[in-house]
Amino acid sequence: MTIDTHNHSLTFSDGALTPEEIIKKGEEKGYRVGISDHLSKFHKIKTDGDLEKYVFYLNKLPCYKSGEIDLGQKTIFSKELLNRLDYIIGGVHNLFWEGRWQCLWFMEEEIKEPDKFMELYKKTILRAIREPVIPIDILAHPTKLPSYLARTFKEEIISDEWIEEVLSEVKEHNIAVEINNTEKVPSERFIKKALKIGVKISLGSDGHSREGTANLDWCLEMGKRLGITEDNLFQVRKERK
């Protein structure tokens, strides 16, 4: 069965549907879903108590229980609680740029040193993998760019060397890379390089809206085009280490 590893709920995060509604929509589409709400001081799950309630709630439902962390940020959760999750997703959401933390989704102004920015982006990913605050199983929305860089340079700002260095690290640490349905990332070039070296692929809607939740249409189209098989896909492990 196809697994949609990445969905956000209204109950515990910034989604539009309850966990039950996400599961129902997944069933209608033929997916097994994972609920992967944000684990962050900026969202609803911000303490161990919040996380414990989240895990307890999801344990009663026919879904995978996961969480999404912001790479580069300090953890505020106990290892014991995190290990109750079936898997952990991590992605870069905020970078310390020009003297302050900035969210990639809201960076709309000109980035005057794009190469320096991309180096910071890469180093944040590599540091989070090599020196993990929380070990992750899936690298979320890799190559998501601020709107200025996406408009101005498109995918050309991401060099082959940048991709290969990131993929080498995820391969070494047995981390899957996500094809993200909402952000339409990463590129075919990135995925082909991942497949070539045996990096596992995760399919994630990253659903926040009703339409975007439990929706893998773009992911499945990409998978079909690149010949991705079940053997290439991330499988949920029975135990986290």
pLDDT in tens, 18-74: 999 999 999 999 999 999 999 998 889 999 999 999 999 999 999 999 999 999 988
Q: How confident is the model at residue 144 (pLDDT cuts 50, 70, 90)?
A: very high
Q: Is 88 exposed, middle or buried (0-12, 13-18, 19+ CB in 10 A)?
A: buried
Superfamily (CATH H level) for 2-232 = Metal-dependent hydrolases (3.20.20.140)
How far is residue 187's CA from residue 61's CA, in Å, rounded to a whole number? 34
How far is residue 241's CA from residue 237's CA, in Å, rounded to a whole number? 10
- Supply 219's token pair: 């992911």
pTM above 0.85, yes or no: yes
The arithmetic mean of pLDDT across residues 128-156, rounded, is 93
Contact 154, 187 (CB under 8 A): no
Highest mean pLDDT among 75-79, 151-155, 177-181: 177-181
Q: How confident is the model at residue 238 (pLDDT cuts 50, 70, 90)?
A: low
Q: Is the pLDDT reported for residue 176 higher than 90?
A: yes
- Supply 39's token pair: 């684990």
Please give the sequence-ordered ranges of beta strands (E in DSSP) within the chain, or none if there are none: 2-7, 31-38, 64-70, 87-91, 94-97, 100-103, 138-139, 176-180, 201-204
Quote the mean pLDDT of the chain.
95
